[in-house]
Amino acid sequence: MTRLRASHVAELAAELRPLVLGWTLREVQPLPPRDLLLILEPPEPIPDGPPILRVRLSAHPDGPRLHLQQGRVNVHKGSAAPFFLKAHEELLDSKLHAIDPLRSDRLARLEFRDTPSGRPRALVLELIGRHGNLVLTDQDDVVLDLLIPGVSRKGAAPRLEVGKPWQPPGSGSGAPTDDGPSIAAAFPQPDDVPPGPVKDRAPLSWAVEIALGSITDAAQDEDDRRRLLQRAKRKLSRALGNRKGLAAREDSVAGSERIRQDGELLKAALGRFQRGAKSIELDDWFEPDAPKRTIELDPKLKPNDNVERVFARYRKLERSRAGLGEEIARADQRIADLEALLSEAADCEDPEALDASAVKRGLLDHKQEADLRKRKAPVQRLPYKTFQACDGTEILVGRTAKDNDTLTMRIARGNDLWLHTADCPGSHVVMRLQRNQEPHPDAVLDAAFLAIHFSPIRDAGRGPVHVVRRKHSNKPKGAKPGLVHVTAGKVLQVRVEPKRLASLLRTDRKPDEG
């Protein structure tokens, strides 16, 4: 499958510059999940020229791209991710100042001036396949927002984080090799001319739009078809369940006359049974040749109430009979319609239109879209747990052996107190201290309790604990994770107080509470 190369990004940027630089951004149109359309207006009306032009920025995993949008686009209706709202807030009515490729890589940067904040802003488009992204940055390249949240790998910090400088993907050590063919050679020449007003002034954009747009449209259609089939199957399953219930109801209604006869027989035998009886056998007047009929009774009810109970059931079945035929007909029709919808959805050309039609006909419910603005940002994993000593001092406890190294060698300061069980493995414990601050003895004891609790000797409830300033612990070269060498300090013989430890463990603070 043809994808944009770094050289293609440079070609497209060069084609777009004379068309839209200096134009005013009038609308930031979201095209979820990963596309954005910039609606640009010229600074002054152009005689016989277009009143607006549209630039497509796409981080779609199946066809990330940058080009002038000339074909028709369906306007998105519904909620949009916070990134689109932030881009609208920061860029609306600004002027497009520059469009440049970055680092000879599959990256493009669109710079905007005269923004609502008065400070330059930029959109960075990362066209790196399935890891593509859109990033909004300030004048210092600090990330203001990003379309796809940064993901950490193996405990490392994410590459992209709001509030931190934008970092390019990869090692960033140099420009990648890009000796491939140009867009004109790599992409097929479209058979049709573009429908927009630009025509022959953006041939590279048109070739990219046709080639990659068709790929992403096909992928989107497949996603729409899959969701449509899932929704229709769920509705069909419910319809079949409802029809099964109607069939059971139909069987019950068919026996209503027998229930009425039971009531009449029971009413005539009122003097023959008392409260507490569970059943009674009676001659059947309605079928003289049949054996005696056994009628179940409720032993908790009086005889008259048992008679009324049987007639009440008969009346309920008769009420249920009314309209039952129409309900069954509607249920059968709904099942037929849903089966037809499934058959049509399997190979339809426009599953989105078929979905809308099914909703209009009442076969499907409207799609439920979550309000992405209410979605909580992912909480970054920290390599330590956080507790609070009796005097309020913060105590950090490493989670794993690798986390112990991170806590001790990268997070702890030289003046912090460092604790660890002597002669056995366990979590590194760090008590945060200010410059020249001496630790409170009870706080040190709290930290020692945690060192024992997060070690193999926790069940013993006692043991020796190293206590040393962090600057007196170091990691030998080549040592395994979690192993450090201590050059000073002292060893405390600690006996854990269960109640005090339990109170200390309740101070565990989650990352989002920090």
pTM more than 0.75: no
Average pLDDT over residues 483-496: 92
**The pLDDT of residue 468:** 95
Ordered strands of the 133-137 beta sheet: 65-68, 53-58, 35-41, 24-31, 95-101, 107-113, 121-126, 133-137, 143-146
- Per-residue pLDDT tens for 95-126? 999 999 998 889 999 999 999 999 999 999 99
Closest C-alpha to 76, from 369, 309, 285:
369
**Helix residue spans in 57-202 (DSSP H):** 82-91, 183-186
Mean pLDDT score of the chain, rounded to an integer? 89
**The pLDDT of residue 427:** 95
Q: What are the residue boundaries of the structural domains of the chain, listed by start?
A: 6-201, 222-377, 384-513
Strand stretches in 234-351, DSSP E? 279-282, 293-296
Percent of residues, the chain, with pLDDT higher than 90:
65
Q: Which CATH number fits domain 6-201: 3.40.710.10, 2.30.310.10, 2.10.109.10, 1.20.1260.10?
A: 2.30.310.10
**The pLDDT of residue 35:** 92
- Per-residue pLDDT tens for 7-46? 999 999 999 999 999 999 999 999 988 999 999 999 988 8
- Find where tokens 């590279």 sit: 204
**The pLDDT of residue 514:** 43
- Give the best-scoring range by mean pLDDT among 170-179, 212-221, 449-458: 449-458
User: Is 506 a residue whose pLDDT tops 60?
Assistant: yes
- Per-residue pLDDT tens for 358-389? 999 999 988 765 554 555 555 567 899 999 99
| CA-to-CA dists, residue 446 to 314, 319, 404, 457, 503, angstroms | 74, 73, 19, 16, 10
- Find where tokens 């008392």 sit: 274
CA distance 278 to 295: 9
User: Is 76 a residue whose pLDDT tops 90?
Assistant: no
Average pLDDT over residues 317-325: 88
User: Is 308 a residue whose pLDDT tops 90?
Assistant: yes
SS3 505: helix
- Per-residue pLDDT tens for 138-196? 999 999 999 988 765 655 678 889 999 999 887 444 444 466 799 999 998 888 888 87
